A and B are shown apart, each in its own frame.
Chain A
Amino acid sequence: MGLEEKLGESIITTRLDTVLNWGRANSLWPMPMGISCCAIEMMAAVGPKYDMARFGSEVMRFSPRQADLMIVAGTLTYKMAPIVRRIYDQMMEPKWVMAMGTCLCTGGMFDSYPVVQGLDHVLPVDVYVPGCPPRPEAVIQALMTIQRKIKRGSTIHHVSRSDEPAKITFPRTETPIVPKRSDTLILNMGPQHPSTHGVLRLILELDGENVVQCVPDIGFLHRGFEKIAENKRYHQFIPYTDRLDYLAPLSNNVSYAMAVEKLFGIELPARGQAIRVIACELARISAHLLSLGTYALDVGAGTVFFHTFDEREKIYNLIEKLAGHRFTTSYTRIGGLARDASPEFLTELSAFLKELPQTIDEMDSLLSNNKIWMQRTKDVGVISPELAISYGLTGPNLRASGVNWDLRKDMPYNGYEKYDFDVIVGKNGDAYDRYWIRLQEMRESMKILNQAIDGIPSGPINADVPEVVIPTKEEVYTQMEALIWHFKVISDGFKAAPGQIYSAIENPKGEFGFFIKSDGENKPARVRIHSPALRSVQIIPELIKGKMIADVVTTVASLDPVLGEIDR
């Protein structure tokens, strides 16, 4: 080429557009607008296995002014929509938007009154990522699509779409706080804040660095689960339970199935129960790993996050082998399970259980005696046993306060009485104890898993109740009778006798239960979900009143709330 020949080999010529776009495409700084379940998969995409850093996008920026790609991940409610729009408006041009998950594409499975039926009702969207949630691979592909789009675009004449108005009318954003003093500062934390574990909003009244009072504002992820349940047949609601506590879908599935089974008076055979125990304990380890990883990250110890996410990926692979899905499992059926656990799965699980202690020991050595960690967490957010009970705390948060209460021991289900494990109880009820309890509980879960694998009984996984339990696929494909029963059980459902029950299990976060009222129809008349994390959020103002603002983050992270089940 004429000019380049004269300039020599070290200089190439190109168009300014191309250079700028090349730069932009390869250094995208995402603004992670993590709202619900999809956010966990977005975090997985950043984690060590998928490593989005390969695409120059490792710098997640929670400040809109430093970001140029907004990854919206999770169900968008009308209450959340104005916040998303405002943060988008605050981002600098040029900017791009990725709508991650079916909820943001079309409203998805949440065809309910609080949910905006697609992100494009609020923002101009560049890439839609279908899936519920999409796998991390899909997120990366979407990122590459945006890169291609950027490279195709014209820089000099960049056409901004940010003037496009929202297609819905936003509700008014309220700040429900009455200041106690006149010389204080009101600080808004969330709903879009990395340390609120979702879309929790804390309104803080500050005197310097001291918190005068705190008012939590919830409902940004209210998807109307309980109302949806009234319009779904019993089987149809199982996929929704995945998205309640989206850190432990398997455990939610078991809880819901057990509640409906109690309504119908169904008892599972031994093998089905053992597999359910395996599912619950896997979910517990996975949830605690995430909880501790993000807890440490919030307090400033970023390393742990990468260790735990590496292990979580291994668990996801195991879950995929067991249930067919890595994240939203929908593994249980009323009166049974979607499919049996294969021998290969059990072998792989025991191999994994041999590796896992190493990671837990690593975490232990990284944090347990770490001076900074101890200074940040010891004597912070102390809950006395009386206070914990009066607020209705359950699970690790209750046990950290020294109350020995675990549904697996105290009201055993699924044959938990047969397993040998200890209930870990804390002493001080502070943030450190809550960390320590979760660490130890993972070790206890491993004990249970090992026993479950060794002693897994043979036999059927489903109860023998043809009116309720769906026939296996093999039977459906070969037998007329089984096909009809499958067809009718799925399309018409089955009717419970009028009555009401409450059934709960020990979820990673505590007592997770369903109240179901039936009036004799094939759909429940009313469903109420007992959420352990809702109690944890209620206690936050009590814990951080008069404390330092830096302790707010520690306290919230140590309580480990998950907004999917709080807002429901």
Chain B
Amino acid sequence: MADTPVEIKKTKVNIDGQDVEVEAGSVIIQAAKKAGVYVPHFCYHEGLSIVGQCRMCFVEVEGQRKLATACSTPVAEGMKIKTNSEAVKAGQNGTLEFILLNHPLDCPICDRGGECKLQDYTLEYGPPRSRMVDDKVLRDKHRHISDQIVLDQERCILCTRCTRFSSEVDGRAELVVNERGNASHIDVFEGHPLKSPYSGNVVDLCPVGALTAQDFRFEARPWELKKHEAICTNCSGGCNIEIHTKHRHPGIVRPDKQSPRPEIKRLMPRENLEVNEWWMCDKGRWGYHYHNEDENRIQQPMIRKSTGLTAVSLKEWTLELENAGDWEFWIDGNFPHEGIAWVKELAKSWKERNRKVEINPSTHGEKFLKVWSKFIAESPWGAGPAKWHGIQEVVCSKSYRELEGIAPILSLRLGQRVRKGQLKWTVVADPLSVPASPEKAFLIDVPRSKEALEQLEKFSTKSNLLILWRQANSRGLVNEGIAPTELLGDGGTSTKNVFLFAQKTKNDISQGLNAKINLAKKLFVANSFFDKAWKEKVHGVLPLTPLYETRATLTNVEGHRQLSQGIHLYHPNTPAINRGTEEMINPSLRLI
């Protein structure tokens, strides 16, 4: 989708008296969008093929006897289109009356109520009262078509967005329309529940409440939710998402001055054609629950005393750092650019006070950075975002299906092109043995071993190469000149004090760090949530604001540097100690 052909012919059309110039061959609905005219539609979606299924997008084309569907009628030179004539209104009204004939009276118990296209259109274009006197057709109402997805066949209006997603975008074709005519209904094949790791997208696509996710069912009403733009942190894909939170008392500060902490209710994808198009994977979508576990949240600076971890003042906490000896700072791959900057600053100020501080010290890492610097300088993809235009072949040690666990959104995006025949996917056990060329892209695993690094060193630096980092900002660390913790394959020894800077996501900290944690003389951790990997061993804990609650910049696996706005959570009156922000910690630590 991101890479459309270059040659563009223009056609002039007139929509509601307004002249627009659009690409030849595009359909009326796209032309209308360009003219700023909204045409109601259920089945049309930019990321899916066009079927003209729902008949909601009727428009009147001058000279044509019948109404045309705006989603499937290509524009022609000089076409005159009306989107709000009496005939169009009658058509829309009739379409909605037909759709509503068999629609169950579920709005009060339906999760989609309030953000339902059918409701919105009925209010805007439909009839206010019904003429239907017969009984409605009854179908299966809560059919669990996977662990997460529940299908209500009665609510379905048969727009087939879900089946088209399943066959075109996902490629598994698990959802189908069964039977024909009045008996048509959406279903999975008998005994084959949805296995797709992108199944959550069909819920977003469903214009009504026919497909709902167990995770969000009966949890909240759309108007109770606040929406915050963010970047998913559960893998390195960097999908653009919207966080929906539920506040109990929006805007009203209690007498105790504490506003209740909002709960994340769901994550939804935001459109970004460069990264995730309109989609996101299930792992990211439903991987936010750690964030709602308030009991795991680090609220205050803590120090381990004889009675266990005890809350202390920040001043008392910093005293623990005195006379502690040599330090290793470890920044994990989920730490955002803002955080990296202040850790660097902290290290600098400590060095000025004659302390020995190293950030992510590892010989393997340094060697990697040296090798990679040549790629940054010479590769067309360099440090910046990968440019897929013109790439005809992908070389990887795994098939794109196997890649779903590591880089789900990359796999989904490239997989579509592979199935369409626009891209060749070559699976080679050792991708770096294939000679490089400008139209080839290489996807390789993280070079944890010495051999892998040596092989990378020998490889052409002018190639299009992506390392499939796992953590949200590992690529960002590389760009900052710091070796990601993911590179640590072995245990190594460390008898120094370790200060670990990490941000909790659904995944634990990097495997390689476990050894460092276990061997550290004294372990200090700055994080937003407790993690079982280090909770028993830690000596001092500093609270950070969780990633979803701060403005954070992350660089994804393809090198897109993206800003996550996060949840605007706190009332300005909230004491800083409860915010746990870097504004609080950074100046204080520099005084040590």
Contact = CB atoms under 8 A, between A and B. Distances in A.
Contacts of A479: 105, 129-130, 132
A205 B426 CA distance: 98
Interface centre among A167, A168, A488, A492 (most CB of B within 10 A): A488
A482 B103 CA distance: 12
Contact of B122 (A121, A485, A492): A485
B127 A487 contact: no
Contact of B119 (A113, A121, A484): A484
Contact of A483 (B107, B126, B221): B107
Interface in B18-71: none
Given A111-B252, A479-B132, A481-B128, A487 B108 contact: yes
B113 interface: yes
Contacts of B127: 481
Interface residues of B, number: 26
A483 B103 CA distance: 11
A479 B122 CA distance: 13
Contacts of A481: 97, 100, 122, 126-130
B255 interface: yes
A467 B122 CA distance: 11
A475 B129 contact: yes
A129 B303 CA distance: 48
A114 to B, nearest CB: 12
A477 B255 contact: no
Contact of B113 (A111, A121, A471, A491): A491
Nearest to B119: A484
A362 to B, nearest CB: 50
Nearest to A169: B255
B488 interface: no
Nearest to A485: B128
B583 to A, nearest CB: 29
B107 A482 contact: no
B71 to A, nearest CB: 23
A480 interface: yes
Contact of A480 (B123, B132, B221, B223): B132
B105 A485 contact: no
Nearest to A494: B123
Interface in B213-257: 221, 223, 249, 252, 254-255
Contacts, number: 66
Nearest to B121: A484
B103 A480 contact: yes
A111 B129 contact: no
Interface string B104-139: 110110000110001110110011111010000000
A168 B113 CA distance: 40
B255 A480 contact: no
A42 B118 CA distance: 49
Contacts of A482: 128-130
Nearest to B249: A111
A117 interface: yes
Contacts of B132: 479-480
B64 to A, nearest CB: 30
A72 B440 CA distance: 80
A484 B107 contact: yes
Contacts of B221: 491
A230 to B, nearest CB: 12
Given A488-B119, A491-B223, A480 B130 contact: yes
Contacts of B104: 480
Interface in A455-492: 466-467, 471, 475, 477-485, 487-488, 491-492
A480 B107 CA distance: 9
A483 B249 contact: no
Contacts of B113: 487, 491
B572 to A, nearest CB: 16
Contacts of A467: 123
A68 B255 CA distance: 30
Nearest to B118: A484
B129 A477 contact: no
A8 B239 CA distance: 92
Nearest to A487: B107
A121 B123 contact: no
B103 A117 contact: no
Contacts of A475: 129
Nearest to A116: B255
Contacts of B249: 111
B128 A491 contact: no
A491 B120 CA distance: 12
A467 B127 CA distance: 11
A478 B132 CA distance: 10
A236 to B, nearest CB: 12
A466 B128 contact: yes
Contact of B114 (A471, A480, A491): A491
A111 B247 CA distance: 15
Contact of A471 (B123, B129, B255): B129
Contacts of B114: 487, 491-492
Contacts of B255: 117, 121, 167-168
Given A471-B129, A482-B130, A477 B119 contact: no
A231 to B, nearest CB: 8
Nearest to B221: A491
Contacts of A484: 100, 107, 118-119, 122-123, 126
A142 B264 CA distance: 41
B210 to A, nearest CB: 15
A117 B104 CA distance: 41
B396 to A, nearest CB: 49
Contacts of B252: 111, 113
B128 A483 contact: no
Contacts of A491: 113-114, 221, 223
A69 B123 CA distance: 54
Contacts of A487: 107-108, 113-114, 119
Contacts of A121: 255
A480 B100 CA distance: 7
B501 to A, nearest CB: 40
Interface string A88-115: 0000000000000000000000010100
Contacts of B129: 466, 471, 475, 479, 481-482
A349 to B, nearest CB: 32
A458 B426 CA distance: 80
A274 to B, nearest CB: 25
Interface string B192-216: 0000000000000000000000000
Interface string B62-105: 00000000000000000000000000000000000100100111
B28 to A, nearest CB: 27
Contacts of A480: 100, 103-105, 130, 132
A113 to B, nearest CB: 8
A111 B104 CA distance: 36
Interface string A111-140: 101000100010000000000000000000
A529 to B, nearest CB: 22
A483 B105 contact: yes
A475 B223 CA distance: 25
Interface in A20-51: none
A326 B249 CA distance: 31
Nearest to A466: B128
Q: Which of A117, A483, A485 has the most CB of B within 10 A?
A: A483
B105 to A, nearest CB: 5
Interface of B: 97, 100, 103-105, 107-108, 113-114, 118-120, 122-123, 126-130, 132, 221, 223, 249, 252, 254-255
22 contacts: A111-B249, A111-B252, A117-B254, A466-B128, A467-B123, A479-B130, A479-B132, A480-B100, A480-B103, A480-B130, A481-B127, A481-B128, A481-B129, A482-B128, A483-B105, A484-B119, A484-B122, A488-B120, A488-B123, A491-B114, A491-B221, A491-B223
Given A475-B129, A481-B130, 5 more contacts: A478-B105, A479-B132, A480-B132, A485-B123, A485-B128
Across the A-B interface, the 4 shortest Cβ-Cβ residue pairs: A466-B128, A479-B130, A487-B107, A480-B100
